[in-house]
Amino acid sequence: MRTTTRVIRLASTVILCVAAFRSFGADQNLPKAETILDKYIEVTGGSARYEKLKTQVSLGNVELSSQGMAGTMAIFRAYPNLVYTVMELPVGTVEEGFDGKTAWSKSPMMRPRIKEGPEKASAQTSAIFNGEFRWRDQFAAVELLGLERVGGQECYKILATVRDAGTQTRYYDKNTYLLVKLSMVVRSPLGDIPTETLFSDYREEDGVVSAHRWVQNVVGQQITTTLKKVEYNTALPPDRFELPAEIKALIGK
Residue 122's SS3 state is helix
For residues 152 and 159, what is the distance between their CA atoms, to the nearest angstrom?
21
Instruction: Tell me if 166 sits within 8 A of 188, measured CB to CB.
Output: no
Q: Write down the pLDDT at residue 163.
A: 83
Q: Pick the closest to residue 19 from 129, 130, 141, 153 (CA basis).
A: 153
According to DSSP, the residues that pair with 72 across neighbouring strands are 61, 88
Q: In this predicted structure, what is the pLDDT of residue 71?
A: 97
Phi, psi of 10 (to 5 degrees): -65, -40
pLDDT score for 36: 98
How many CB atoms sit inside 10 A of residue 2's CB? 7
State the total domains in the chain: 1
Residue 23 pLDDT level (bands cut at 50, 70, 90): very low
To the nearest whole number, what is the mean pLDDT of the chain? Answer: 88
Residue 132, beta-bridge partner list: none
- Average pLDDT for residues 1-30, to the nearest whole number? 49
163 touches 177 (CB < 8 A): no
Q: Which of 60, 214, 46 is nearest to 130 (CA)?
A: 46
Q: How far apart are CA 98 and CA 126, in angstroms?
A: 9
Specify the pLDDT at position 109. 79
Give the angle 184-244-242 at the CA atoms, nearest 5°.
Answer: 80
What average pLDDT does range 62-68 have in this prediction? 86
Mean pLDDT, range 90-95, rounded to an integer: 94
pLDDT tens by residue, 116-132:
988 898 899 899 999 99
> Is residue 241's pLDDT more than 50?
yes
Which pLDDT belongs to residue 20?
28
Return the higher-pLDDT residue of 21 and 142.
142
Residue 18, pLDDT above cutoff 80: no
Q: Say if residues 86 and 77 touch (Cβ distance below 8 Å).
A: no
Distance from C-alpha of 190 to C-alpha of 68, rounded to nearest angstrom: 22
Entry pTM:
0.85
Q: Grade residue 185 by pLDDT with cuts at 50, 70 and 90.
A: confident
- Centroid of chain to Cα 232: 17
Confidence bin at 159 (pLDDT 50/70/90): very high
- Count other C-beta atoms under 10 Å from residue 44's C-beta: 22
Predicted confidence at residue 89, as pLDDT, reads 94
Domain containing 181 — which CATH number? 2.50.20.10
Spatial contact of 76 and 252, defined as CB atoms under 8 Å apart: no
- DSSP labels, 147-178: EEEETTEEEEEEEEEETTS-EEEEEEETTT--
Give the pLDDT of residue 14. Answer: 52
Confidence grade of residue 135 (pLDDT, cut at 50, 70, 90): very high
Query: What's the pLDDT at 84?
Result: 98
Mean pLDDT value of segment 184-211:
89
Residue with more model confidence, 219 or 6:
219
Q: Which domain holds residue 177?
A: 2-18+21-252
